[in-house]
Structures are given as structure tokens and as C-alpha cells.
Chain A
């Protein structure tokens, strides 16, 4: 028994250590965002201080971070809605129909997801310039499909396969059309899986810096991560505002992550059906 307890003690300490490594930066970010510029660099660090929100006010007023967040929301939601609308039927087709090349197409989606953005960045920039769509959120929404659609397809193929075929056959005998079955039987049963795919894709879209930095350089169209880049240009880096903006940008990602962590932990094998 003694050995068991020592083992579980080590186990606990190890987990606590990992948690510390992960949580500490978040703590530092939040704490710094609530400190004055002087407190941020005090050594030894001040652990107890009166929170002050001047950095947030400055980020909102000087850097128009709220506008950038709204742009991010528009681009992310747009990219996810379009990606699911395109990816879900594609995944359904791959899950339910056997046809020549279906395995290759599925593999192609996965490899597309691994695409290194820099490779296509310049062609996309030239295309956007020709189309006069620099600083246009629609351009970002379209370009984000390069990773949103593959991710959605990759996650949903197995989700659709998990829906018993007998359900669809029963609906067929009940007189439902094939598209009706997809919309009214299969899709409702995979909502948990679709939600996970949408949130994951949303996090990727939200976090994108490279495409957004190049394609939406203007202050009106820029997305939130791009604002972070703008802080790095001057003689002084305004760390209070950096941290306040970082809190506002990472907040939605953390909330999204928490919302789906249960499913992620289960290896995305959702027991939704049955």
C-alpha cells in the first residue's frame, strides 16, 4: 500500500508541475494586464496589487481592439459556417458512398490540412490584389477554407460512419429523400461531432495571424491577432496594452476549448448515437 501512495503522490506532483507550466503564462498575462506599467517589471514581482483597468481602456481606445475582435468574429463565424456547409456534405458523401478514388480524396483532404500556409500566401495575395479584395473579410473567409474544410471533413467522416445505416434505410422506407435523410436523420444525430469540428475549426481561424496580417493590413479590416503585431513596431512595447489585448483575444479560445474538452479527451469518438 505504501508504494501505491508514493506512486500516486508522484503522479499528483507531476500533474501539478505540468499544470503550472501551462497555467503560469495565463496567470502572468492576466496579472500583467491588470497591473500598472511600473508594476509589470518590478522585481521581485508584486503578487498582491490593486487591479487597474487602464490597460484595457487604452487597448480599446488607442488600438481599436473591439473593432478588431468584431472583425475576428465575422471572419471566424463566416469561415466556420461556410466550412461546415461545404465540409459536412463532403464528409457524408465519403462516409456513405464507395466510389473510385474516395480513399484518395479523403487522404487529399488530410494532406491539405497539413499545407504550410506560406507556400500559398503569395499566390493568394496576388489573387486578392487582382480581385481588389485586400482588406476584405470575405477573402479571409474563403482562404480559411483551406484548413477549415479539411478539418471538418476529417472529423465528420467517422461521425457519419457511426450513424447506423439501418436508420437511413428505415427513413428510406418511410419515404424520405436521400437529402432529407441527410438533413433530418443523420445531421441531427451528429450535432455533437459537428459542434466539436466547428469549434476546433473556429479556434484555428480565430488564431490565424499570417493570412490576416498579409491580407488585411488596414486598421479597419484587421483581425485581433494582427493587432498584436502592431504593438511590436514602435520604440517602446506597451506591455500593459499587449497583455490586455491578449486576454481579450485568448478568452474566446479558452472558453471554446473548455466547451469541447470533454469530447477531445474522449478522442473525438462521441457516443452520441445509440
Chain B
């Protein structure tokens, strides 16, 4: 049974529609990531689950109960804010204890929970300090501890790692996963960082302009993006999408310098297409039977340390990017070269609607 169900939720601010009839369900204990560019409505959705905003239409269910109009305090949800929102005039211990006291937890139980949580997120030495005396990472842990100590049935996180530096972020990411394993809390996590989403989520909901583009496991979303937006948004470097015109009836997709087989069972293709492939799945060299081939002129070569990134200018002016291990082969700017892509790694999208064209 779904722990959280979002049922046709719309949110309007005046004439602006921030969320458009959105449906989503999150399973008990699941780590669900809401991913999308800024302004896509992901934070609004999170705040509605928290009860800080009210949907214009639709229902929100938590644990089978309709909580659409329930005030935040009665929803049994905890939230880690982007700014952490620690109470500056209270010590770390008081910060964690406040929510417990207000819920009538006994003194002894509060003390034991604080001790347990402080050890879990490693803030035991700072319990008597004020938030001002903590580093960004430590504040983040306190914000997390405040939610975990409450033992809410749902924990919500609004870009909790966006205010700490890149190195600490990867450490905290692993820690969030470890803590999620231990507590098993149903978690909804908002981010605009696709790498973070891929690393953390059991499933990812990709959002754009107030609607859901795709819901799936990180692997599904990476390997089978449902549309051109998801294809572009997920993965670094992003998927190459080459716009081309398909002649109806032709037995392959062809353009100047490009030849790709049509996957079986697709039926008639639209004339306006995106041919997509990920740079890491392309192989320099000539194609064998059943592979696609793309030719172009090396435009820019970037040395990134372990890898080199090559930007290829195709004959019709489009660009394709791929990466190879350092020192594998050295292309120089101006060289003409070909890439071979196995058919199973080709993605086709209707350029008009953006939807992926798949067999079946």
C-alpha cells in the first residue's frame, strides 16, 4: 500500500499554475527523489505534503488518511529545510527536544532518543552548543537529527545538501543513505542535482513545468528515458540528441554522415526525429552490422584528468560529445572521425512531442 499518495493535485498562485493535476505514490520505507530544474514545482509539492501549502485541487493521503486540510503539526511528517532552520537561540539538544516535548514524550524518553540520534548522525559532542557555533555540515546533521528523533512516518528533505561544499556533500550523501537504511523512514527528497538524485533515490520522479515527466528507478530513467527532456536532464555529460529528418519508407535513419538502423517493431516513424545516444556508449571506429554510425569533425578536445572529452561537429552542424579514457587515442582538432553505437543504446524521440519511440 502506498504510504503517500498524491491524487490529482493542482496548485495555482493567481494565474500561474505551479502544479498541474499531479499524481504520485510513494511506498512505505521508500526513498523517493523529486528531481527537476528550479521552478518545476518540486518544492511546492514537498511543502504541500508537509502541510505548509494547500493544494488548489486534489487530495494528499498519508498512510491511507486524507491529510489535504490537516495542519502540519498533526501530519506526523518531519522536514529538513534547505536553510536547516535550526532555532538559533536554542542549543542543539533543545533544538532536537522541542518537537518531542510538544508531542508529550517523557523526559527520560527524550534523553534516550537524543543520545541515540546524536550517535547516529555523529553530533554527540555538540549537543550543548548553539547552531551558530557549528559548521555547515554539522548544522545539516542537527537538522537531520531533529527529524529522526521525532520518528515521523514521513521525512521530507528540501535540497538539504545544497548549502554545503562539494566534498562534504558526497560524504553526507553516503551518510543519508546509511541513515535511511537504519531508520527505514519513508523519505521524499527534493533536489535539482541529477547526480544526487541518481545516487540517493530508490526511485526518481523527474518533474518539469509542474508535471511529472517520468517516474522510475535511477537505472530505468538513465537507460530508458521516457522523453527528450529526461534524456537531456539525466546523466553527465548529457545524452547527445541529434535532430534529423526521416524520409518515410526508408529502411534506415539517414542523414549526411549518419546512418542508423530502425529498431524492429517501431511502426511508422514521424518525420521529425531526435536520435539520441550517450557518449559513454559510443565507440570510435567503424560500425559493424546492426550498429549506427555517426561521422563528424573533431571540434574541441578537453582534457579532464582521467578522461578526455571530445566535441564532434557533425556534417549538418549538430554537435555530439563523448568521453574516452585518458591516453586511449589522441584526436586532434580538425580530424574527421566516426563513432559506432550499438543498436540497443540508440534512443529515438519524436521531436515534436518529445516522447520516446519504443517497440511494442
Contacts and interface: CB of A to CB of B under 8 A. Distances in A.
Contacts, number: 56
Contacts of B87: 167, 170-171, 185
B99 A175 contact: yes
B89 A172 contact: no
Residue in A167, A188, A274 with the greatest tally of chain B CB atoms within 10 Å: A167
Interface string A177-205: 00000000100110000000000000000
A189 B88 contact: yes
A176 interface: yes
Given A169-B52, A173-B78, A188 B102 contact: no
A174 B85 contact: no
Interface string A145-180: 000000000000000000010110111111110000
The size bracket of the interface on A is 10 to 19
Interface string B93-108: 0000011001100000
A86 B81 CA distance: 32
B48 interface: no
A175 B174 CA distance: 30
B94 to A, nearest CB: 11
Shortest 10 CB-CB distances between A and B: which pairs? Answer: A174-B99, A166-B85, A175-B102, A170-B85, A175-B73, A166-B81, A188-B89, A172-B72, A173-B72, A167-B85
A259 interface: no
Contact of A174 (B52, B83, B98): B98
Nearest to B147: A173
A138 interface: no
B79 interface: yes
Interface residues of B, number: 23
Nearest to A163: B88
B117 to A, nearest CB: 15
Interface of B: 50-52, 71-73, 77-79, 81-83, 85-89, 98-99, 102-103, 146, 150
Contacts of B52: 169, 172-173
Interface in A244-274: 273-274
A169 B83 CA distance: 12
A185 B89 CA distance: 8
Contact of A273 (B51, B73, B88, B98): B88
A41 B73 CA distance: 73
A164 B103 contact: no
Contacts of A170: 79, 81, 85-87, 146
Residue in A164, A173, A175 with the greatest tally of chain B CB atoms within 10 Å: A173
B132 to A, nearest CB: 8
A185 B150 CA distance: 19
A188 B88 CA distance: 10
Contacts of B71: 172
Contacts of B79: 169-170, 173
A85 to B, nearest CB: 21
A274 B88 contact: yes
A173 B85 CA distance: 11
Contacts of A169: 50, 52, 72, 79, 81, 85
